[in-house]
Structure 1
Amino acid sequence: MTGPEDFCRRALPEVSRTFALNIPVLPPPLDLVVTVAYLLCRIADTLEDEARGQVSERAELFHMLGRLVKLEPGWEERSAEFARHSVAALRPSAPTAEVQLVQGTPTVLEAMRGLPDWTHPHIAACVVEMTGGMAQMMIELDGGAPQGLPDLRDTLQYCYYVAGTVGVMLTGLFVDGYESVRPRRSELVPRAPAFGRALQLTNILKDIREDLDRGFCWLPRTSMAKHGLTPANLLLPEKRVAAVALLDDLVAVARHECDVAFEYSLILPRSEPGLRLFCLWPLLFAVRTLAVLAHNPAVFEPAPVKIDRETVMRIMVLTRESVADDRALESLYAESARGVPEGRRA
């Protein structure tokens, strides 16, 4: 195995531990399709997290990537130009694997070109909406000290742009790629955005301290204000009780999104265990993470709060054993969610 496909398969575990676990359980060719799509999304994510410079210049990088995924004539030369400008914009401390991925943008696009034609519109639509949303959010925030987003609706809209769009893309790929999924389209489509929002909101809550230390805050200002909090005082020891109350409010919102995503997973046919496992593993990791975050003041300390490797392996084994048994999966989900506040619709 050489060339663009090899580059993508080698890059995946370097930039994502979670998706390096679940993408390989997808049946071919979907495993490669989703690998390529994920890497394109990760390039956008790297620009958001690591690029520095004028807001207008960074926004143009997002728009360039959105144009490139359409694979219009001349994309090869433009992708090389994009890679040069993007790498130059990354801060010196950017992770090496992510820098190499951005440098490899032309190779990832070459891999996309080699995918079945029917997959291209789904990938392109996802990346275009994602990068457009990221650029819009960046322009609205426009640098400076972290202020948070105006309200919970805006935080969930941000989660949609960076992850909910992926749920929509995956649903399109599942429906168009599998005759057994096609009749369930009407049930899957309305639940698809919640899947990505659930994972992203969980990550935001897990990374509150790290994000603030790096100058980011994606929490809603109205929710913070309800508890007498701002990004400037959120980490103060004397505000810890209020901060935990805020955290639990948002954990309940994330739990609701996870509940909808679990419904989505069970709608997928039992005859497609790879699709189910692909969805269930990160979802169960997320809901178990919420259980660790709930009521936990350590979230606001420097040391990261996360589930351990033993928990990850146990979830993977039990899910694989129960993948075609909805009742067993419901029990596993309930066990994983033990300690998480009841879901609250935003």
Structure 2
Amino acid sequence: MQTEPAAIAFCREVLPAVSRTFALNIPVLPRPLDTAVMVAYLLCRIADTLEDEAHGPASEVLLAELARLSTLPAGWEADARRFSEEGARVLRTQAPEAEVRLVAGTARVLEALALHAVPVREHVASCVATMTKGMGKMGDKGRASGGGLGLASLEETLEYCYYVAGTVGEMLTRLFQWYSPAIAERAAALEPRAVAFGNALQLTNILKDVREDLERGSCWLPKTLLAEHGLTPEALLEPGNRGEAMKAHGQMVAVAHRELRKAFEYVMALPGQERGIRLFCLWPLFLAVMTLRKLYGNAAVLERRAVKVSRRTVKWVVASTRLLVGQDAALKLMFSTLTAPLPR
């Protein structure tokens, strides 16, 4: 049995610590698509960690350098080792240990990227470049240091979602097409919905983590929508504003629901014979549906109790979609039934 390269082994080891969702669904992808997606995700997660945990000029400089290194330029190995050391050094002391380890291992993740085919490397580098450029463009807009919490409008919230997640939807679509000629034939149906697939998952995370983000000094909700309810991001958690805050939160649940419907259309456009790729997409999609069901109208999302789906729900989603993965009519009925309680 052939021994796996050490760089790939490092990626497999660190993945579950930084994302339980991707640690669950990447293994169902066929090879070599599985390692391509794993490495791509980890590079995007490094960018996300730098954006979240290394605020200020250091973050912008490191994000630009990560984009450059992702193209694997001449002499990248030495530069990547320096980047790994500097990136880990500038993270805030409260940064999660697993994410610090990932940033410190950036050189190993880039080494794993170098093991893949040229088209894979090009698609990944393009995604990282767009993502990091967008993070620089959005800057500290959603943070107190950027002149006030919150983003200006729903359009700006969706723009933020595009840069941190919609770009990943685009990249995954290109990787899927690289791997599968059958998927490449369906590009016309998939590509217009690829961004919604990423945006839906990111909006769900924003709505789930609204209190945690506010306590960290960030808010990715649109100020215009909050203002319709007499609210500002700074006042969102005040107990006296709970009723109006939940109305505003419910409106954003409706936006996330809209994006999830487009994301479901995306999955249904994948050929049924590509079972692993379908499952890879179905699991986070249905977990997002179940999360929105739990969040909608639940004031606990603004309190100190974490709102998340249970392990039992995760197991049910995994088992149900495994059973129905090739049955479009049954999947459509399942999606329609589960999303029925969500606002439009």
Both structures adopt the same fold (TM-score exceeding 0.5): yes
The residue that corresponds to 1:255 in the other structure is 257
* 1:82-139 deviations in Å (ceiling 9; x for gaps): 1122111111111111111101000000000001122111100100100111111115
Q: TM-score, normalised by structure 1?
A: 0.96
* 1:16-54 deviations in Å (ceiling 9; x for gaps): 0011111110000000000000000010111112114xx
Aligned-pair CA distance for 1:297: 1.1
Aligned-pair CA distance for 1:260: 0.2
The residue that corresponds to 1:3 in the other structure is 6
Aligned partner (choices 171, 174, 177) of residue 172 of structure 1: 174
Change (3 A) 1:334 1:34: same
Return the letter of the residue paired with 2:62: L
**How do residues 64-213 of structure 1 correspond to structure 2 at under 5 angstroms?**
64-140=65-141, 144=145, 146-213=148-215
Aligned-pair CA distance for 1:175: 1.2
Conserved? CA contact 1:130–1:165, under 8 Å? yes
Aligned-pair CA distance for 1:176: 1.9
SS in 1 for 2:181: coil
Q: CA-atom RMSD, angstroms?
A: 1.2
Structure 1 residues 116-125 or 131-140, which shifts more?
131-140
Aligned-pair CA distance for 1:143: 5.0
* 1:248-280 deviations in Å (ceiling 9; x for gaps): 100000000000000000100001001100001
Question: Which whole-Å CA distance do the structure 1 matches of 2:143 and 2:249 have between them?
Answer: 26
Change (3 A) 1:299 1:139: closer
TM superposition outliers: structure 1 runs of 4+ over 6 Å = none
Conserved? CA contact 2:47–2:63, under 8 Å? yes
Question: Which whole-Å CA distance do the structure 2 matches of 1:286 and 1:141 have between them?
Answer: 23
Aligned-pair CA distance for 1:245: 0.3
The residue that corresponds to 2:241 in the other structure is 239
Conserved? CA contact 1:146–1:217, under 8 Å? no
The residue that corresponds to 2:22 in the other structure is 19
The residue that corresponds to 2:37 in the other structure is 34
Segments of structure 1 that go 5 or more residues without pairing to the other structure are: none
Identity of aligned residues (%): 51
Conserved? CA contact 1:167–1:196, under 8 Å? yes
Conserved? CA contact 2:141–2:149, under 8 Å? no
Conserved? CA contact 1:323–1:329, under 8 Å? yes
* 1:183-234 deviations in Å (ceiling 9; x for gaps): 1001100000000000000000000000001111000010111111111110
Question: Which whole-Å CA distance do the structure 1 matches of 2:186 and 2:326 have between them?
Answer: 17
Question: Which whole-Å CA distance do the structure 1 matches of 2:266 and 2:247 have between them?
Answer: 29
1:223 equivalent in alignment to 2:225: yes
Change (3 A) 1:204 1:141: closer
The residue that corresponds to 2:50 in the other structure is 47
Conserved? CA contact 2:166–2:198, under 8 Å? yes
Question: Which whole-Å CA distance do the structure 2 matches of 1:219 and 1:146 have between them?
Answer: 12
User: How many positions carry a matched residue from both structures?
Assistant: 340
Aligned partner (choices 265, 268, 289) of residue 267 of structure 2: 265
Aligned-pair CA distance for 1:74: 1.3
Question: Which whole-Å CA distance do the structure 1 matches of 2:103 and 2:37 have between them?
Answer: 18
Conserved? CA contact 1:192–1:261, under 8 Å? yes
Question: Which whole-Å CA distance do the structure 2 matches of 1:280 and 1:142 have between them?
Answer: 32
Aligned-pair CA distance for 1:336: 2.5
